[in-house]
Structure 1
Amino acid sequence: MAIRDAFGLTLSGATEAGFTPYSQAVRELQCFIGDPVASIDSAIAEDPGFVMAHVFKGYLFGLATEREATAVARACHEAALPLAATTHEQAHVAALGHLASGRWHEASRILEDITIETPRDGLALQVGHQIDFFTGNARMLRDRIARALPAWQSGMPGYHAMLGMQAFGLEEMGDYIRAEQLGRSAVDMEPRDGWAQHAVAHVMEMQSRQRDGIAWMRANPEAWTRESFLQVHNWWHLALFHYDLGETDEVLALYDGPIYSVQSTMALNMVDASAILWRLHLGGVDVGDRWAALAANWRKAGA
């Protein structure tokens, strides 16, 4: 008997043993928490022929924007190619192939076609949304989710993530009131949804509501920081609010604490760290030897 997800989508090659960690990986990605790579590796270990598990892992690494990660994404695509798959799953395999080869716009178009036909495919929506984010396609950040949202409703698994993504898309297109409403609803529904938390922070930054932004980020930081791989970027947003108010001591404390105390060599984290130091430099703030430590890590990353 074929395994199907909560929305009736067939998962070729899956058993219950593999489906359980796959479902956990989906939830982790929707909240930006935990270790979805470990979860999806468990799914693959249980079911080596589970095509969407290989695709899911490939998406994770393809969206990581790290040189070494791209090689993993290509390997996941190669592993998925010969496996039994439905037409729907084959489209995902094709999208992954484009993503892993750097053809992000082609991947985006296939994912768009998938969600036009199957608007409750949350993975296709989320991966497409992230591609829209990285490629700066503000209109699609809004419209990809808006097109699918009527097929979703409260109580469905992952509904909070749909609201959070729609909130971010609305914010990027300047619809700040609706963006904040949906973002707050998503966080009310799932306090650990780091992307929805991030969407509301964007609204407040764009409206120069620094005090509101600080209150928003400091109200329940444990929810959006615990095991979150988006936490550095969200701490960065808090630092921006303090910077805009001239509270540079708070900015430096955040930089030396949750933003860059670990001195990550991940590009996305180093981008945030660099952006903080550059703002401080432009503001005439002496940041000491922080630039040197960060530059050393950029060199390690091969930048």
Structure 2
Amino acid sequence: MAHRDRRGLPLSTRSDRAAECYRTGVDLLLAAWPGAADALDAAIAADPDFALAHAARARLHAMRVESAAARASITRAADCVARGGTERERSHVAVLSLAIDGQSGPALARALAHAESWPRDALILSLPLGAFGLLAFSGRADHDQARVDLCERHAHAYEPDDWWFTTYRGWAHTENGAVARGRALAEQGFALRRENANGAHALSHALFEDGAGHEAEALIADWLPAYDRSGLLHGHIAWHAALAALERGDPDGALAIYAEHVRPGVTAGLSLNVITDTVSLLWRLGAYGHAVPAGLWDEVRAYAAPYYVKAGFGFADAHMGLLAAATGDRAAAQGRIDALTGLVEAGTLAAGPVVPAICRAALAFAEGDYGSCARILEPVAGEVVRLGGSGAQREVIEDTLLVALMRAGEAEKARILLDRRLHRRPSPRDARWQAQLTA
């Protein structure tokens, strides 16, 4: 068994081509770069019994929400590994099996245990990390710190020139508030491999949190044209540029980016990204006092209709609540609130009571009852982190609270919140609002 993966772990295949295609496929998967599926399919064609190639293909199917294909691939991986895989490969397949089966709690526990024995198994270590990782969606209020702890615990296992680990380590520090360190690591990781959408994404976040929106816009404008539109993060990275434009007071520029890269029908992104990016940008646009062009909300509602019908995924539920409120669908909003409240009472909603509270507040905001919106959101503001996702994504909820306070005449509370936000992250939009409140 002479073949090894990119980080030196043994591979149970005798095929030179299968091993090389697997290494390439995993690189592309970790970089969210087009071509991963073709490379992994080539690995499987070269060695149909190569368990880890089937497992990586399953992971890629799962990322694209191709559930039946993901289950079929991970079942094939389990069959192959049972006939001759190593202990590490059996554990690798078991972790992915749990994740693909929707058993996120056991998958997280098993992934963390796996990393203790094989920290250089990057595909498994990647599962708890990221804005949509197992830690982010665990419902934990400390998931940002937990990601940093995980990266630092295993940093010794990675070389300084490991582009993947450096990128994710930087993103973890940025999200946990150590922005200077996070930005430096993100810049280092991105420089090591520019054909890395996760690298561009991590650096965009770092620039956003550093108050350098103009740098984020320049980075994305320079980098995005080389990233094929079929890439999973193409639309989402463009969303970051639209967000930066909106922050500096250019709604037309934000809408132009939205129309070209973000809106349903023009992006090949994950459904979760498409829904949350479109909803949050259009909601912000309206909350900031700009007109949302006719038809845009209806287009998002039509796209989102088949997804997340059943409540229980807090990050998606919050955005579906915003969508129902923005489109005046009170019945849908109330139905989701009732379902979420039932899950909270049953103790089965990971993110907890903050989720139905956000949906209730969104409905009040959309109906012009800003005082009620603020009263609902203020007590749970510290729990919004439990939704998961990134700070930039969750900020739409804090924006809603801030605008509700201003419109409800709660100027002093709004000033306190703005002072805290500006201390955390310089923002031209917040500076404008602060000036209005002190005028």
What TM-score does the superposition give when structure 2 sets the normalisation length? 0.63
Q: Deviations over 1:161-181 (max 9, x none)?
A: 111100110011111010000
- Decide which of 74, 77, 80 is 2:74's aligned counterpart: 77
- In structure 1, the residue matched to 2:322 is none
1:81 is paired with a residue whose SS is: helix
8 Å contact kept, 2:57–2:70 = yes
- Alpha carbons of 1:61 and 1:202: their partners in 2 closer, same or farther (altered >3 Å)? same
What is the 5 A alignment of 1:46-65?
46-64=46-64
Give 5+ residue unaligned stretches, structure 1. Answer: none
Report the Cα distance in structure 1 between the residues aligned to 2:187 and 2:8, rounded to whole angstroms: 29
- In structure 2, the residue matched to 1:279 is 284
- Alpha carbons of 1:257 and 1:164: their partners in 2 closer, same or farther (altered >3 Å)? same
Q: Counterpart of 1:250 in structure 2: which amino acid?
A: G
Report the Cα distance in structure 2 between the residues aligned to 1:121 and 1:139, rounded to whole angstroms: 21
Q: CA RMSD in A?
A: 2.2
Report the Cα distance in structure 1 between the residues aligned to 2:8 and 2:262, rounded to whole angstroms: 41
What is the 5 A alignment of 1:1-303?
1-64=1-64, 66=65, 69-83=66-80, 84-129=84-129, 130-135=133-138, 137-155=143-161, 159-224=162-227, 228-260=231-263, 262=266, 266-284=271-289, 285-301=291-307, 303=309
Post-superposition offset of 1:208: 3.1
- Alpha carbons of 1:222 and 1:146: their partners in 2 closer, same or farther (altered >3 Å)? farther
Report the Cα distance in structure 2 between the residues aligned to 1:267 and 1:220, rounded to whole angstroms: 23
- Alpha carbons of 1:61 and 1:133: their partners in 2 closer, same or farther (altered >3 Å)? farther
Highest Rg: 1 or 2?
2
Report the Cα distance in structure 2 between the residues aligned to 1:118 and 1:112, rounded to whole angstroms: 10
Post-superposition offset of 1:302: 6.8
- Alpha carbons of 1:229 and 1:63: their partners in 2 closer, same or farther (altered >3 Å)? closer
Q: Deviations over 1:160-201 (max 9, x none)?
A: 111110011001111101000000111111112221222222
Report the Cα distance in structure 2 between the residues aligned to 1:14 and 1:80, rounded to whole angstroms: 16
Post-superposition offset of 1:60: 2.0
Over 6 Å off, 4+ runs: none
| Aligned sequence identity (%) | 25
Q: Deviations over 1:104-150 (max 9, x none)?
A: 12212222222222222222222332333444622232222222222
Post-superposition offset of 1:240: 0.7
Q: Deviations over 1:7-52 (max 9, x none)?
A: 3322124511211221111111122111312221221122111011
Q: Counterpart of 1:128 in structure 2: which amino acid?
A: P
Per mean C-alpha deviation after superposition, the further-off stretch among 205-214 and 21-30 is 205-214
Per mean C-alpha deviation after superposition, the further-off stretch among 245-254 and 278-287 is 278-287
Post-superposition offset of 1:209: 2.8
Post-superposition offset of 1:216: 3.1
Q: Deviations over 1:197-246 (max 9, x none)?
A: 22222223224332232233234333455763211111111111111111
- Alpha carbons of 1:140 and 1:62: their partners in 2 closer, same or farther (altered >3 Å)? farther
What TM-score does the superposition give when structure 1 sets the normalisation length? 0.89
Per mean C-alpha deviation after superposition, the further-off stretch among 94-103 and 264-273 is 264-273
Report the Cα distance in structure 2 between the residues aligned to 1:207 and 1:230, rounded to whole angstroms: 21
8 Å contact kept, 1:63–1:131 = no
Report the Cα distance in structure 2 between the residues aligned to 1:176 and 1:224, rounded to whole angstroms: 26
- Alpha carbons of 1:14 and 1:297: their partners in 2 closer, same or farther (altered >3 Å)? farther
Q: Counterpart of 2:277 in structure 1: which amino acid?
A: D
- Alpha carbons of 1:238 and 1:262: their partners in 2 closer, same or farther (altered >3 Å)? same
Q: Deviations over 1:85-120 (max 9, x none)?
A: 111111111111211221112212222222222222
8 Å contact kept, 1:263–1:294 = no
Post-superposition offset of 1:263: 5.8
Q: Counterpart of 2:4 in structure 1: which amino acid?
A: R
Per mean C-alpha deviation after superposition, the further-off stretch among 127-136 and 196-205 is 127-136
Alignment length, in residue pairs? 297
Post-superposition offset of 1:247: 0.4
Per mean C-alpha deviation after superposition, the further-off stretch among 111-120 and 88-97 is 111-120
Report the Cα distance in structure 2 between the residues aligned to 1:143 and 1:222, rounded to whole angstroms: 35
8 Å contact kept, 1:240–1:251 = yes
Post-superposition offset of 1:62: 2.8
8 Å contact kept, 2:12–2:85 = yes
Give 5+ residue unaligned stretches, structure 2. Answer: 310-439
Report the Cα distance in structure 2 between the residues aligned to 1:21 and 1:205, rounded to whole angstroms: 36
Report the Cα distance in structure 1 between the residues aligned to 2:39 and 2:246, rounded to whole angstroms: 38
1:128 is paired with a residue whose SS is: coil
Post-superposition offset of 1:61: 2.5
